Amino acid sequence: MKVLHLNFSDNGGAAIACRRTHLALLASGMESKMLVAKKSLDIPEVYELSFPRLRKIWRVLQLKYESWQKRLIPQSDKSLRHGNSLSGFILKEIKRFNPDIVHLHWINAGMMSLKDIQKLDVPTVWTAHDLWPITGSCHCAGSLMTESMAEQYPQTFENVDTSGYSARYGKEFRKLMLRQPEGLITLCRPFEALARKAQWCSNRIITRIPNCLDLSLFSPVNDKERLRSKLGLPEDKILLLFVAASLNAYHKGIDLLLESLQQMDKDMRDRCELVIVGGAVNLDSTLEMNCHVMGSISSEEKIARIYQACDVFLCPSREDNFPNTVAESSSCGLPAVAYRTGGLPDMIDHLENGYLAIAFDSADFANGINLAVNRRVHWSQNSRIKAESLYSSQEHVSKIIAFYASFLSH
């Protein structure tokens, strides 16, 4: 069986999940390849689309067209909406690999249009790394999500989007999703339930398969002091960790995190320090806690070391599907504190391996931090047990292969 994974890039949240599936399939003996529009890493069997300069020019034109279409959308939401209606000129490239299965991941930003998907002449499956493969217009809800939607997203955003963007592209999406993909992979229960209600999914095979990771790389260590010394982190403090590719993105909730840290007991704040990994971030100057900003890190080995050196993971996201950061930190034995939203209840068992705070109650989140710090030894053991049950590469591969086989047996 020859599998071709399509993702816009080889780095980023969905790209990391995609390449982990790809590498796990390769390790199992499967013939797997990954095709991207933007390649930056040296990974086996990952290929970049031909004519990158011409594609870059075309992508600029596509994005300008998209920008015009999104002119009525609030500025904070513009990066969260995408119509994906212009061709990416990718079909000939796909045929060159002669795959038995095409596996779509995050194919926006001008990589592949809806019409391109319908022209695929081999069985095709799609992993919903965000809401876009379900709604056809929204990667994340953004300002369209209210507190009442925290645990259960609406089936469509057309009724709450006054700009008309979701109505237009949602209708086009349902109209064009006639034949492909044949199957949809979701990562968490809320997205699976949402997909099963979607009109275009009525004749699709839908399954839920969590992402996988290398449990030997992301694993607990006994010698935190040595790691902290190498990383320049204090050895006598409880380290709280926050990781996000885009730290200031509204849906990642750093503003909620800072509010929660201010509401912690002073004695607890004095015992703790904050470690931040990710892009540029503007911290509140009134934060009464030492903070170590580590910057963006692409090396999985280095980010694993940082997880291993810390004590508690903080995920203040307003919305999230199945964040790699929670999976990685849990595998390293860190209890996680998060809001009860999106797929996070699938990853965190409340008061067993972490804390699920009321969305979006910063005081309750602060209470969760206090509990996680005090119970971190027991919750750490449970976090690793949970990770081994959810993120095993071997189990992930067996489920993925069985899903592929169900289409090839037609």
Reading the block at residue 92, the tokens are 């000939």
Render 196-225 in DSSP notation, one character per residue. Answer: HH-GGGTTSEEEE------TTTS---S-HH
The tens-digit pLDDT sequence of the chain (410 residues) is 999 999 999 988 999 999 999 999 999 999 999 999 999 999 999 999 988 788 888 888 888 888 898 888 988 888 889 888 888 889 999 999 999 999 999 999 889 999 999 999 999 999 999 999 999 999 988 888 776 566 667 667 887 888 889 999 989 998 999 899 999 999 999 999 999 988 888 889 999 999 999 999 999 998 899 999 999 999 999 999 999 887 778 889 999 999 999 999 889 999 999 999 987 666 666 677 889 999 889 899 999 999 999 999 999 999 899 999 999 999 999 999 999 998 999 999 999 999 999 989 999 999 999 999 999 999 999 999 999 999 999 999 999 999 999 988 76
Q: Where do the structural domains in the chain lie, given as residue ranges?
A: 2-212+392-408, 224-390
CA distance 32 to 109: 24
- CATH number of the structural domain 2-212+392-408: 3.40.50.2000
Q: What would the CATH number be for the domain defined by 224-390? A: 3.40.50.2000
Name 278's bridge partners: 244
Q: What is the pLDDT of residue 130?
A: 94
pTM of the model: 0.94
Which residues make Cβ contacts (< 8 Å) with residue 280, sequence separation at least 6?
A: 247, 248
